[in-house]
């Protein structure tokens, strides 16, 4: 899952809060994140991997342009993009009003690193999205596919990958 949004939307702060540790630098200066930072958290017995990429902005340096290209490339590969907006916005799937403790309430669901209930609600929603009914099974009965295997099985069903290639990659 990738965190997406403008600079200073709270993406790095949210990454740190969800993961329970400082992985990314945070501050009021725009553009602190210039590379993709990976983190993960466990919730309800499942692990979610997330990525914080540079924020969207109109910076003028070559370094800023490279950071934007990197963010867009990672976004295209993400299983899910969680978009953050620091200001109230119209509600749509996987768009959250971030920095909710600093802004008036808006239409979109809110998340704040200072409000544990909003972080728990987001984690619950992510677990439901990625694992659905699987989360209701006892841990010994859970079976989840690696995202790469899931993609390869889809390619097999579409005919763009053959069974021998699949076997060689995953079973040999």
Residue-wise pLDDT for 15-49, tens only, equals 999 999 999 988 887 777 778 899 999 998 889 99
Contact between 111 and 96 (Cβ < 8 Å): yes
| pLDDT for the residue numbered 112 | 86
The residue range of the domain holding 161 is 142-170
> DSSP of the chain, one letter per residue?
-EEE-BTTSSHHHHHHHHHTS--S---SSTT---S-EEEEEEETTEEEEEEE-PPB----SHHHHHHHHHHHHHHHH-S-EEEEESS-----TTEEE-SGGGS---SS-B--TT-HHHHHHHHHHHHHHHHGGGGGS-GGG-----HHHHHHHHHHHHTSS-HHHHHHHHT-
Do 151 and 131 fall into the same domain?
no
pLDDT tens profile 86-136: 887 787 888 888 876 666 666 567 888 888 998 999 999 999 988 887 777
What pLDDT does residue 43 have?
A: 92
Neighbouring-strand partners of residue 85:
97
Q: Which residues contact 22 (CB under 8 A, 6 or more apart)?
A: 16
Residues 101 and 19 in one domain: yes
Same domain, residue pair 106 and 152: no
Domain with 120 in it: what CATH number? Answer: 3.40.50.300
How many domains, in total, are found in the chain?
Answer: 2
Terminal Cα-to-Cα distance of the chain (whole angstroms): 29
Q: Say how far residue 160 (Cα) sits from the centre of its chain.
A: 28
Residue 83 sits in the same domain as residue 128: yes
Contacts of 163 (CB under 8 A, 6+ apart): 156
Based on the fold, state whether residues 157 and 100 are members of the same structural domain.
Answer: no
38 and 71 inside one domain: yes
Residue 63 has pLDDT above 70, yes or no: no
* Six token digits for residue 31: 């553009």
Higher pLDDT, 99 or 12: 12
């Amino acid at each position: 899952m990738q965190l997406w949004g403008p600079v200073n939307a709270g993406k790095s702060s949210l990454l740190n809060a969800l993961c329970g540790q400082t992985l990314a630098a945070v501050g009021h200066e725009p553009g602190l994140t210039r590379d993709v930072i990976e983190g993960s958290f466990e919730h309800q017995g499942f692990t979610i991997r997330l990525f914080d990429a540079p924020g969207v902005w109109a910076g003028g340096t070559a370094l800023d342009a490279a950071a934007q290209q990197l963010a867009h490339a990672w976004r295209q590969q993400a299983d899910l993009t969680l978009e953050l907006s620091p200001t109230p916005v119209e509600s749509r799937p996987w768009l959250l009003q971030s920095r909710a403790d600093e802004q008036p309430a808006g239409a979109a669901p809110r998340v704040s690193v200072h409000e544990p209930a909003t972080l728990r609600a987001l984690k619950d929603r992510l677990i439901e999205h990625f694992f659905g009914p699987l989360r209701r099974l006892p841990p010994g009965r859970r079976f989840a596919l690696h995202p790469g295997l899931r993609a390869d099985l889809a390619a097999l069903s579409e005919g763009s990958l053959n069974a021998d290639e699949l076997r060689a990659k995953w079973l040999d």
